[in-house]
Amino acid sequence: MAFASNPLSLSVTEPAFEAWLRETGYLEILDDRAASADPSPPSSFPSPSSSSSTAVPDAPLRPRTSAPAAGRGGLAARAFSSMRTLASLFTLNPFAKLTPEDLSVGTPSWTLEFIGAAGSYSWPAGSAQARMRVQENVRRYARNYALLSVIVFACTLYKMPVSLLGLIACLVLWEFVRFCGDKWQLEERCPGLRQAFVHIAQLATAVVLYMCNLQLAIAYTVGVSYAVLIFHAFLRKLTPRRIPGANQHGRFLQRR
């Protein structure tokens, strides 16, 4: 049976369709079903009841070492599937669907939503589920990840006091340039001199940051923050959001 083409099906854009899935909770349902689906390899040996009724008396016996071999084959297949799912992290862009609106919303709860319970984590069933988890969790917990990056950077500067002093010196230098420009009104009176001050400040900033190894602190912060982001979003299940007023709406439906 062939269905006629429906032009209305082309009017829904992908962002609108994803927003509908997110609001109705279907993303959580898809993730939960994919995580609960654990296909196990079929057994190569029949049950004793069936083997007794269909066994041939003169058939040669199979070696007993085939059962451990089949078990090792299943473990190897699962290990290969897990490694392939983990390798898919290096090919996806976790910020592909991140929008400015995701950064303007309130910060989710650290204990109830971001960390969650022990059952809120599981290994994805495949690369498609891993991609869906990572991109959706980055959108949900974007402010949490940003705050974690700031904390990691602060801890890195605490362990590297020379870099911290260099950063403070650069901030003081630029504040001095701004103060001189406002006091003497260099932008209106002598813009060329102001540009010279700015170039000198830029050169001094580059030298100070290089001498105090601030680039190492930034690289360490980026690496640790990205690793925490990618593995948390990879293992974190898509749980329903706690929307304010949802309990009142549910009570209203129960009354009706």
Non-local CB neighbours of 107 within 8 Å, separated by 6+ positions: 143, 144, 147
Average pLDDT over residues 228-239: 93
- Which range has the top average pLDDT, 68-82, 122-136, 141-155? 141-155
The C-alpha atoms of residue 166 and residue 163 are separated, in whole angstroms, by 5
SS3 helix, strand, coil % of the chain, rounded to 5? 70, 0, 25
Average pLDDT over residues 21-33: 70
Average pLDDT over residues 43-67: 45
Give the pLDDT of residue 7: 55
Q: How far is CA 221 from CA 170, 174, 210, 216, in A?
A: 19, 24, 17, 8
Pick the residue with more confidence: 47 or 101? 101
pLDDT in tens, 169-178: 999 999 999 9
Give the pLDDT of residue 250: 41
Q: Is the pLDDT of residue 9 over 90?
A: no
Residue pair 204/108 in contact (Cβ under 8 Å)? The answer is no
CA atoms within 13 A on the CB side of 106: 8
Average pLDDT over residues 192-215: 91
Report the chain's mean pLDDT, rounded to a whole number. Answer: 78
Non-local CB neighbours of 240 within 8 Å, separated by 6+ positions: 25, 28
Q: How far is CA 102 from CA 4, 22, 95, 164, 247, in A?
A: 38, 13, 11, 31, 23
Give me the amino acid identity at 115.
I
Give the pLDDT of residue 67: 52
Q: The tokens of 116 are what?
A: 């969650």
Q: Is the pLDDT of residue 108 over 60?
A: yes
Average pLDDT over residues 144-171: 94
Backbone φ and ψ of 63, nearest 5°: -70, 145
Return the bridge partners of 236, or none: 121
Confidence of residue 164 (pLDDT cuts 50, 70, 90): very high
Comparing 18-22, 98-102, 196-200, 226-230, the range with the smallest average pLDDT is 18-22
